[in-house]
Amino acid sequence: MTADHTPAEQNRLARLLSYLVQDPGNLSLLADALSLAIDLGDIAAGQQLIAHMQAQGIEQPHTYALAAHASLQAGRYAAAAAFGDKAIEGGIHHAAVLFNTALGHFHSGDYGATHTLLSRLSKDPQSPAHLLVMHARALHQLEETEEAERLVTRARQLEPENTNTRGLLALLQYENDNYSPALITAHETLAEDPDQLDALIACASVHFEQNNIVASRNAWLHTIKQHPECGRAWSGLARLEFNELEFDQAEEHLKMAVRFMPDHIGTWHLLAWIYILRRDSVQARQALDASYVLDRNFGETHGGLAIVDILDGMKERAQKSIRRALKLNPLGLSVQYAEALLLQDAGQPEKAVQLIGQVLDRTRPDSDITGRVLMENWLRTHQNKIPDRHPDQH
């Protein structure tokens, strides 16, 4: 109970709860009690009333809408999303219900559902900044960065002094390849809030893309110091180290990255590439298996597994992985690398070099998968050709 609520209101809630015991199917009584529990911020009473609703088999849209709100207060986001969906299916389309349901989906990681719901609200020119920012963050997760940037630009106009909004704008400007505006926005944000995470990531990332390695390294190290559980910061530092051929440091920092963001496929792939370049097939396979669990239909994973099979002398199995990878992504770096290894193994080094040359000469693919982008960059920069056979291989 907050300071704004009197003991009389708490006593009224207690009376409503006791009345429900006597008249458990009274929808009006249940709704009044839930509304008062929400107003009072009484999470325990709210959850008690939701349990009562479910035990009584009450399926009423207005009650579901209240249950969604009470579940949000309790931090039960999946339940909030489920109750909100039922309220909407029942015909309730009030903006607050749509927003609460979207919030439940957002915190449950269902960004597609969040986007669908908030699209109905963010098109209103009067949409508040916090709604626009949440919609933008959902779109960011869905890799719809251009639309996300447009929404954050609107939010910034509403709240120009909000450093979190400005930091997110800097990050989206970077991800939309607008490096100069991103750096300007990031520096403006960091001048007021030196530890704003999105701005720090944008700043470090832009420096990396512009090949300002010292500035990028320092920015990543500062980001990690201030936000030690940020997987993207650990991964960003590792990407830089990989590009600088600092594989031992990159491996250490990628392990930290997957600890904090174990569902990021690109980080597992970059870790696998380090092991592939070391010809450590056991650890490379472990990293690729972790990626496979996340997405069984990602071509780069199958190509990587083919490389590992070749390193282990399992050519027939490698061919199966190559065929699978080619179906999913015929221009994938890993599958072409695997094919080149097979060509070399078959005594056709000229064709192998020709294939690697095509990879080196090909325009950088439109992809945000960290391992593939950086491996191509590493190949292009250092003109790495086909590795020699491991002395233990026959």
Q: What is the mean pLDDT of residues 205-213?
A: 95
∠ CA(163), CA(165), CA(171), 5° rounding?
A: 100
Per the CB < 8 A criterion, the answer to whether 317 and 324 are in contact is no
Q: How far apart are CA 383 and CA 376, in angstroms?
A: 10
Closest to 102 measured CA to CA, from 71, 128, 135? 135
Res 366 pLDDT > 60: no
Token pair in block for residue 53: 């609703």
Q: How far from 235 is each of 76, 199, 383, CA to CA, in Å?
A: 30, 16, 24
Region of poorest pLDDT, from 5-19, 179-193, 213-227, 291-305? 5-19
Q: How far apart are CA 63 and CA 216, in angstroms?
A: 52
pLDDT value at residue 376: 52
pLDDT value at residue 394: 31
Render pLDDT for 262-287 as a digit per residue (tens, 0 to 9). 999 999 999 999 999 888 999 999 99
pLDDT tier for residue 384 given thresholds of 50, 70 and 90: very low
Q: What is the mean pLDDT of residues 195-216?
A: 96
pLDDT tier for residue 6 given thresholds of 50, 70 and 90: confident
What is the pTM assigned to this prediction? Answer: 0.83
Res 362 pLDDT > 70: no
pLDDT tier for residue 234 given thresholds of 50, 70 and 90: very high
| Cβ-proximal residues to 170 (8 Å cutoff; 6+ apart), any chain | 182, 183, 185, 186, 189, 198, 199, 202, 203
pLDDT value at residue 202: 98
Mean confidence (pLDDT) of the chain: 89
pLDDT value at residue 332: 85
Q: How far apart are CA 152 and CA 138, in angstroms?
A: 12
Q: Residue type for 365, please?
A: P
Share of the chain above pLDDT 90, in %: 78
The better pLDDT of the pair 239, 4 is held by 239
Residue reference for tokens 């069984």: 296
Res 2 pLDDT > 80: no
| Cβ-proximal residues to 146 (8 Å cutoff; 6+ apart), any chain | 176
Res 365 pLDDT > 70: no
Q: How far apart are CA 189 and CA 166, in angstroms?
A: 6
Res 259 pLDDT > 50: yes
Render pLDDT for 27-76 as a digit per residue (tens, 0 to 9). 999 999 999 999 999 999 999 999 999 999 999 999 999 999 999 999 99
User: In the chain, what are the domains?
Assistant: 1-109 (1.25.40.10), 302-394 (no CATH)
Res 1 pLDDT > 50: no
The better pLDDT of the pair 170, 339 is held by 170
Res 361 pLDDT > 80: no
pLDDT value at residue 126: 94
Region of poorest pLDDT, from 78-87, 204-213, 368-377? 368-377
Q: How far apart are CA 131 and CA 127, in angstroms?
A: 7
Res 364 pLDDT > 80: no
pLDDT value at residue 277: 86
Q: What is the mean pLDDT of residues 5-18?
A: 87
pLDDT value at residue 4: 56
pLDDT value at residue 348: 85
pLDDT value at residue 309: 95
Render pLDDT for 102-139 as a digit per residue (tens, 0 to 9). 999 999 999 999 999 999 999 999 999 999 999 999 99
pLDDT value at residue 168: 98
